[in-house]
Amino acid sequence: MLEDTAHRLDFLSLDPISKLEEEHEKQKTTVGAGSSWDDDNDYDIHGAIRLTDEQIDEFHSTGYLYLPEVFTAEELRVLNDELPGLFSRSEPYNISELSNSKIPRTNFASHLISKPFAKLSRHPRIIRLVETLLNDKLYVHQFKINKKTAFEGEVWQWHQDYSTWLQEDMMSTNRAMNVAIFLDDVNHYNGPLMFIPGSHKEGVISADYDTKTTSYPIWKVGNDVISQLVDRAGGKQGGIVSPIGPAGSVVLFHSCLVHSSSTNISPWDRNIVYLSLCATSNHIRRFKRPEYIAHRSFDPIICLLDDCLLDSTIDEQISVPWEGKLPDSALEVKNDIISDEDMQKVKEYPVHDEEELSTSCCAEAVVVVVVENPLNQLSIDDQYIVVDETMNTAS
Ligand SMILES: O=C(O)CCC(=O)C(=O)O
Q: What is the pLDDT of residue 373?
A: 30
The conformation of residue 176, written as its DSSP 8-state character, comes to E
Nearest-atom number in ligand 1 for the CA of 180 is: 1
Ligand 1 mean position to 279 CA, how many Å? 21
Report which secondary-structure segment, H or E, holds 117: helix 115-120
Question: What does the pLDDT read at residue 49?
Answer: 78
pLDDT tier at 21 (50, 70, 90 boundaries)?
low
pLDDT band (50, 70, 90) for residue 338: confident
Q: What is the pLDDT, as a whole number, of residue 40?
A: 53
d(CA 171, CA 212): 25
DSSP per-residue letters across 256-322:
T--EEE--B-SSS---EEEEEEEEGGG-BSB--S-TTTS----PPP----TTGGG-GGGGGG---TT
Q: Using alpha carbons, select from 47, 206, 67, 57 the residue that is nearest to residue 127.
A: 47
Statement: residue 73 has pLDDT above 50: yes
Q: Which residues pair with 194 in a beta bridge?
A: 260
Ligand 1, atom 5: nearest CA belongs to which residue? 156
Q: How far is the CA of 86 from the centre of ligand 1 (A)?
A: 18
320-337, pLDDT tens digit by residue? 999 999 999 999 998 888
Cα 244 to Cα 279: distance, rounded to the nearest angstrom? 27
Which comes out higher in pLDDT, residue 240 or 375? Answer: 240
Distance of CA 296 to the CA centre of its chain: 14
How far CA 372 is from CA of 171, 355, 362, 377, in Å, comes to 16, 27, 16, 10
Atom of ligand 1 nearest to the CA of 193: 3
From 147, 195, 253, 261, give the residue whose CB has the most ligand 1 atoms within 8 Å, as the site to mutate: 261
| pLDDT value of residue 27 | 53
CA 215 to centroid of ligand 1, rounded, Å:
13
Indicate if the pLDDT at residue 261 is higher than 60. yes
Does the pTM surpass 0.85? The reply is: no
Q: What are phi and psi of 325, to 5 degrees?
A: -85, 150
Task: Identify the bridge partners of residue 176 per DSSP, sorted by sequence position.
Answer: 278
Q: Residues of the chain with pLDDT > 90: what percent?
A: 71
Instruction: Decide: 228 and 298 in contact? Cβ < 8 Å.
Output: no
% of the chain exceeding 70 in pLDDT: 73
What is each CA distance from 169 to 56, 60, 236, 344, in whole angstroms? 28, 25, 35, 18
Quote the mean pLDDT of the chain: 81
pLDDT computed for residue 50 by the predictor: 84
What's the mean pLDDT in 47-61?
89
145: confidence class by pLDDT, cuts 50, 70, 90: very high
CA of 185 to the centre of ligand 1 (A): 16
Choose which CATH entry (2.60.120.620, 3.40.140.10, 3.30.420.10, 3.40.50.720) describes domain 2-394.
Answer: 2.60.120.620
